[in-house]
Amino acid sequence: MAQRKTFDVAAIQPQFWHLSEVQTALVRRDVATLLRVFLAQHPACTQTQLALMIEHDRAEVSNWVRGVRQGRVCDIDVLGRIADGLAMPDAARIRLGLAPQEMRLSQFTDDHERAAEGHAGALRVTICGSRHGGANGAEIDAVIPGLARVILLQGWQVTHGPVGVGIEVTTYLADHYHPPGARAAVGTFGHHHVVAPADYLLVIGGGAGTRIELDLAVTMRKRILPFARSGGAAAWFLAESPATRSLAWLSGNDLAVLTEADATAYPQIVHDLIAATEGAHQ
Protein backbone atom coordinates (compact mmCIF):
# COMPACT_ATOMS: atom_id res chain seq x y z
CA MET A 1 0.00 0.00 0.00
CA ALA A 2 1.39 3.40 -0.97
CA GLN A 3 2.38 5.59 1.93
CA ARG A 4 0.38 8.78 2.26
CA LYS A 5 2.40 11.91 1.67
CA THR A 6 2.91 14.49 4.39
CA PHE A 7 3.45 18.18 3.88
CA ASP A 8 6.81 19.47 5.12
CA VAL A 9 6.06 22.20 7.67
CA ALA A 10 9.52 23.63 6.95
CA ALA A 11 7.92 24.94 3.73
CA ILE A 12 5.78 27.37 5.77
CA GLN A 13 7.46 30.73 5.36
CA PRO A 14 7.71 33.02 8.42
CA GLN A 15 5.86 35.72 6.46
CA PHE A 16 2.71 33.59 6.52
CA TRP A 17 2.25 34.25 10.23
CA HIS A 18 2.51 38.02 9.63
CA LEU A 19 -0.37 38.17 7.14
CA SER A 20 -3.06 40.44 8.58
CA GLU A 21 -5.78 37.88 7.83
CA VAL A 22 -3.82 35.21 9.67
CA GLN A 23 -3.11 37.40 12.69
CA THR A 24 -6.78 38.37 12.95
CA ALA A 25 -7.82 34.71 12.72
CA LEU A 26 -5.38 33.80 15.48
CA VAL A 27 -6.65 36.46 17.86
CA ARG A 28 -10.25 35.42 17.20
CA ARG A 29 -9.37 31.71 17.37
CA ASP A 30 -11.04 31.49 13.97
CA VAL A 31 -9.72 28.10 12.87
CA ALA A 32 -11.82 28.01 9.69
CA THR A 33 -10.26 31.20 8.33
CA LEU A 34 -6.77 30.16 9.43
CA LEU A 35 -6.99 26.83 7.59
CA ARG A 36 -8.54 28.38 4.47
CA VAL A 37 -5.75 30.95 4.24
CA PHE A 38 -3.15 28.28 4.95
CA LEU A 39 -4.36 26.07 2.09
CA ALA A 40 -4.59 29.03 -0.28
CA GLN A 41 -1.01 30.06 0.56
CA HIS A 42 0.33 26.48 0.39
CA PRO A 43 -1.22 24.78 -2.67
CA ALA A 44 1.20 21.86 -2.27
CA CYS A 45 -0.67 20.86 0.90
CA THR A 46 -3.93 18.96 0.46
CA GLN A 47 -6.76 18.86 2.97
CA THR A 48 -5.86 15.24 3.71
CA GLN A 49 -2.25 16.17 4.43
CA LEU A 50 -3.38 19.07 6.59
CA ALA A 51 -5.69 16.76 8.54
CA LEU A 52 -2.78 14.42 9.24
CA MET A 53 -0.60 17.31 10.39
CA ILE A 54 -3.11 18.72 12.88
CA GLU A 55 -4.43 15.30 13.97
CA HIS A 56 -7.99 15.84 12.81
CA ASP A 57 -10.33 13.87 10.60
CA ARG A 58 -10.28 14.87 6.94
CA ALA A 59 -14.04 15.55 7.07
CA GLU A 60 -13.58 17.97 10.00
CA VAL A 61 -10.97 19.95 8.06
CA SER A 62 -13.24 20.01 5.01
CA ASN A 63 -16.15 21.29 7.09
CA TRP A 64 -14.00 24.08 8.53
CA VAL A 65 -12.70 25.09 5.12
CA ARG A 66 -16.20 25.04 3.55
CA GLY A 67 -17.70 26.97 6.44
CA VAL A 68 -20.01 24.11 7.45
CA ARG A 69 -18.44 23.79 10.91
CA GLN A 70 -18.28 26.63 13.47
CA GLY A 71 -15.08 28.51 12.71
CA ARG A 72 -14.21 29.77 16.18
CA VAL A 73 -12.73 27.18 18.53
CA CYS A 74 -12.25 27.41 22.30
CA ASP A 75 -11.15 23.84 23.04
CA ILE A 76 -7.55 24.20 24.21
CA ASP A 77 -6.62 20.68 23.09
CA VAL A 78 -7.87 21.31 19.56
CA LEU A 79 -5.99 24.60 19.37
CA GLY A 80 -2.87 22.92 20.73
CA ARG A 81 -2.93 20.20 18.06
CA ILE A 82 -3.36 22.79 15.32
CA ALA A 83 -0.52 24.92 16.67
CA ASP A 84 1.79 21.93 17.01
CA GLY A 85 0.87 20.52 13.62
CA LEU A 86 1.58 23.80 11.85
CA ALA A 87 4.81 24.33 13.84
CA MET A 88 3.36 27.67 14.89
CA PRO A 89 6.02 30.16 16.08
CA ASP A 90 5.74 31.51 19.61
CA ALA A 91 4.36 34.91 18.59
CA ALA A 92 1.53 33.17 16.73
CA ARG A 93 0.90 30.75 19.60
CA ILE A 94 0.51 33.67 22.00
CA ARG A 95 -1.96 35.40 19.66
CA LEU A 96 -3.94 32.16 19.62
CA GLY A 97 -3.91 32.17 23.41
CA LEU A 98 -1.40 29.36 23.90
CA ALA A 99 1.84 29.29 25.84
CA PRO A 100 5.03 29.61 23.77
CA GLN A 101 7.03 26.48 22.96
CA GLU A 102 10.04 27.74 24.89
CA MET A 103 8.08 28.33 28.08
CA ARG A 104 9.61 26.45 30.99
CA LEU A 105 8.01 27.64 34.21
CA SER A 106 9.30 26.38 37.52
CA GLN A 107 5.89 25.12 38.56
CA PHE A 108 5.70 22.58 35.74
CA THR A 109 7.46 19.31 35.22
CA ASP A 110 7.63 17.96 31.68
CA ASP A 111 9.20 15.22 29.64
CA HIS A 112 12.49 17.03 29.19
CA GLU A 113 13.50 18.88 32.33
CA ARG A 114 12.71 19.33 35.99
CA ALA A 115 11.43 22.62 37.30
CA ALA A 116 14.48 23.35 39.43
CA GLU A 117 16.67 23.52 36.34
CA GLY A 118 14.62 26.34 34.86
CA HIS A 119 15.94 29.11 32.63
CA ALA A 120 19.19 30.65 33.79
CA GLY A 121 18.73 34.33 34.49
CA ALA A 122 14.91 34.27 34.34
CA LEU A 123 13.18 36.65 36.71
CA ARG A 124 11.83 34.69 39.68
CA VAL A 125 8.41 35.45 41.15
CA THR A 126 6.95 33.70 44.18
CA ILE A 127 3.16 33.60 44.64
CA CYS A 128 2.19 33.27 48.29
CA GLY A 129 -1.27 33.10 49.81
CA SER A 130 -4.37 31.01 50.28
CA ARG A 131 -8.08 31.29 50.90
CA HIS A 132 -7.60 31.18 54.67
CA GLY A 133 -7.25 33.90 57.30
CA GLY A 134 -10.17 36.03 56.20
CA ALA A 135 -9.18 36.04 52.53
CA ASN A 136 -11.68 37.36 49.98
CA GLY A 137 -12.48 34.37 47.74
CA ALA A 138 -14.28 36.42 45.10
CA GLU A 139 -11.29 38.74 44.63
CA ILE A 140 -8.95 35.75 44.45
CA ASP A 141 -11.12 34.13 41.78
CA ALA A 142 -11.12 37.37 39.80
CA VAL A 143 -7.35 37.99 39.93
CA ILE A 144 -6.17 34.50 38.92
CA PRO A 145 -6.80 34.81 35.13
CA GLY A 146 -4.92 38.12 34.91
CA LEU A 147 -1.95 36.81 36.86
CA ALA A 148 -1.78 33.70 34.68
CA ARG A 149 -1.73 35.80 31.52
CA VAL A 150 1.00 38.13 32.82
CA ILE A 151 3.14 35.12 33.75
CA LEU A 152 2.56 33.66 30.30
CA LEU A 153 3.53 36.81 28.45
CA GLN A 154 6.53 37.66 30.64
CA GLY A 155 7.95 34.15 30.97
CA TRP A 156 8.61 34.59 34.67
CA GLN A 157 9.91 31.63 36.61
CA VAL A 158 7.36 31.01 39.34
CA THR A 159 7.63 29.40 42.78
CA HIS A 160 4.77 28.52 45.12
CA GLY A 161 3.86 26.09 47.83
CA PRO A 162 2.15 22.73 47.30
CA VAL A 163 -1.26 24.28 48.03
CA GLY A 164 -2.72 27.77 47.84
CA VAL A 165 -3.27 30.52 45.31
CA GLY A 166 0.06 29.96 43.56
CA ILE A 167 -0.87 26.49 42.41
CA GLU A 168 -4.33 27.76 41.43
CA VAL A 169 -2.68 30.30 39.12
CA THR A 170 -0.43 27.72 37.51
CA THR A 171 -3.30 25.26 37.11
CA TYR A 172 -5.33 27.98 35.37
CA LEU A 173 -2.36 28.72 33.12
CA ALA A 174 -2.01 25.05 32.22
CA ASP A 175 -5.72 24.59 31.53
CA HIS A 176 -6.16 27.74 29.45
CA TYR A 177 -2.81 28.21 27.67
CA HIS A 178 -1.57 24.64 27.19
CA PRO A 179 2.19 24.99 27.87
CA PRO A 180 3.99 22.40 25.70
CA GLY A 181 5.09 19.31 27.61
CA ALA A 182 3.43 20.30 30.89
CA ARG A 183 2.52 17.22 32.89
CA ALA A 184 2.03 18.41 36.47
CA ALA A 185 2.08 21.51 38.63
CA VAL A 186 4.48 21.11 41.54
CA GLY A 187 4.93 23.05 44.75
CA THR A 188 7.90 23.77 46.97
CA PHE A 189 7.82 22.56 50.55
CA GLY A 190 9.00 24.74 53.44
CA HIS A 191 8.34 28.45 53.90
CA HIS A 192 12.02 29.32 53.57
CA HIS A 193 12.35 27.42 50.29
CA VAL A 194 9.25 29.12 48.89
CA VAL A 195 10.53 32.61 49.69
CA ALA A 196 14.28 32.32 49.14
CA PRO A 197 14.38 32.12 45.29
CA ALA A 198 12.09 35.12 44.79
CA ASP A 199 13.06 38.38 43.17
CA TYR A 200 9.49 39.50 43.87
CA LEU A 201 6.83 38.12 46.21
CA LEU A 202 3.18 38.38 45.14
CA VAL A 203 0.85 37.94 48.10
CA ILE A 204 -2.80 36.97 47.54
CA GLY A 205 -4.95 36.44 50.64
CA GLY A 206 -3.37 34.00 53.07
CA GLY A 207 -3.46 32.95 56.70
CA ALA A 208 -0.86 32.12 59.32
CA GLY A 209 1.45 30.31 56.91
CA THR A 210 1.53 33.27 54.56
CA ARG A 211 2.35 35.59 57.47
CA ILE A 212 5.37 33.42 58.23
CA GLU A 213 6.46 33.73 54.59
CA LEU A 214 5.99 37.50 54.76
CA ASP A 215 8.12 37.71 57.89
CA LEU A 216 10.83 35.71 56.15
CA ALA A 217 10.57 37.93 53.06
CA VAL A 218 11.03 41.06 55.16
CA THR A 219 14.09 39.53 56.82
CA MET A 220 15.51 38.59 53.41
CA ARG A 221 14.68 42.06 52.05
CA LYS A 222 12.53 40.75 49.26
CA ARG A 223 10.39 43.06 47.15
CA ILE A 224 6.79 42.38 48.16
CA LEU A 225 3.65 43.14 46.14
CA PRO A 226 0.52 42.42 48.23
CA PHE A 227 -2.96 42.40 46.70
CA ALA A 228 -4.81 44.24 49.48
CA ARG A 229 -8.35 43.51 48.28
CA SER A 230 -7.71 39.78 48.52
CA GLY A 231 -7.81 40.18 52.31
CA GLY A 232 -6.04 37.89 54.74
CA ALA A 233 -2.30 38.23 55.17
CA ALA A 234 -2.02 40.51 52.11
CA ALA A 235 -4.31 43.14 53.66
CA TRP A 236 -2.69 42.68 57.09
CA PHE A 237 0.76 43.27 55.66
CA LEU A 238 -0.20 46.61 54.15
CA ALA A 239 -2.30 47.80 57.09
CA GLU A 240 -0.60 46.57 60.23
CA SER A 241 2.82 45.03 59.73
CA PRO A 242 6.20 46.80 60.00
CA ALA A 243 6.69 46.49 56.25
CA THR A 244 8.86 49.56 55.67
CA ARG A 245 11.97 47.78 54.45
CA SER A 246 10.14 45.61 51.93
CA LEU A 247 8.00 48.44 50.55
CA ALA A 248 10.65 51.16 50.53
CA TRP A 249 11.48 50.33 46.89
CA LEU A 250 8.05 51.71 45.94
CA SER A 251 7.33 55.41 45.63
CA GLY A 252 4.45 56.82 47.64
CA ASN A 253 2.31 57.06 44.53
CA ASP A 254 3.15 53.50 43.44
CA LEU A 255 2.27 52.19 46.89
CA ALA A 256 -1.05 54.03 46.84
CA VAL A 257 -1.90 52.63 43.39
CA LEU A 258 -0.96 49.12 44.52
CA THR A 259 -3.03 49.40 47.69
CA GLU A 260 -6.15 50.51 45.80
CA ALA A 261 -5.81 48.01 42.94
CA ASP A 262 -8.76 45.79 42.17
CA ALA A 263 -8.51 42.30 40.68
CA THR A 264 -8.51 43.65 37.13
CA ALA A 265 -5.77 46.22 37.74
CA TYR A 266 -3.47 44.28 40.07
CA PRO A 267 -1.77 42.02 37.47
CA GLN A 268 -0.96 44.97 35.20
CA ILE A 269 0.31 47.06 38.12
CA VAL A 270 2.56 44.17 39.18
CA HIS A 271 3.89 43.94 35.63
CA ASP A 272 4.50 47.69 35.39
CA LEU A 273 6.23 47.96 38.76
CA ILE A 274 8.52 45.00 38.06
CA ALA A 275 9.30 46.22 34.54
CA ALA A 276 10.16 49.70 35.79
CA THR A 277 12.35 48.36 38.59
CA GLU A 278 14.20 45.88 36.41
CA GLY A 279 14.65 48.51 33.71
CA ALA A 280 16.16 50.93 36.22
CA HIS A 281 18.68 48.29 37.29
CA GLN A 282 19.92 47.54 33.80
Across residues 5-33, what is the average pLDDT? 88
Distance (Å, whole) CA 264 – CA 81: 31
Residues of the chain with CATH 1.10.260: 9-96
Q: Are 11 and 42 in contact (CB under 8 A)?
A: yes
Is the distance from CB of 210 to CB of 128 less than 8 angstroms?
yes
Percentage of the chain lying above the pLDDT 70 cut: 86
pLDDT in tens, 190-222: 888 899 989 999 999 999 999 999 988 988 889
In this prediction, residues 93-106 reach a mean pLDDT of 71
Question: Using CA atoms, how far apart are residues 64 and 38, in angstroms rounded to an integer?
Answer: 12
Q: Does domain 108-281 have CATH number 3.40.50.450?
A: yes
Rounded Cα–Cα distance for residues 139 and 136 (Å)? 6
pTM of model > 0.85 = no
Residue limits of CATH 3.40.50.450 in the chain: 108-281
| Cβ atoms 214, 237 nearer than 8 A | yes
Instruction: Indicate if the alpha-carbon torsion angle 74, 75, 76, 78 is positive or negative.
Output: negative
* Residue-wise pLDDT tens digits, 111-144: 444 444 444 467 999 999 999 989 999 999 999 9
Angle, in degrees to the nearest 10, between helices 232-239 and 208-219: 40
How many percent of the chain have pLDDT more than 90? 40
| Residue 230: Cβ within 10 Å count | 26
Per CATH, domain 9-96 is 3.60.70:
no
Band (pLDDT 50/70/90 cuts) for residue 165 is very high
Over residues 263-279, the pLDDT tens digits come to 999 999 999 999 999 88
For 75-85, what is the mean pLDDT? 86
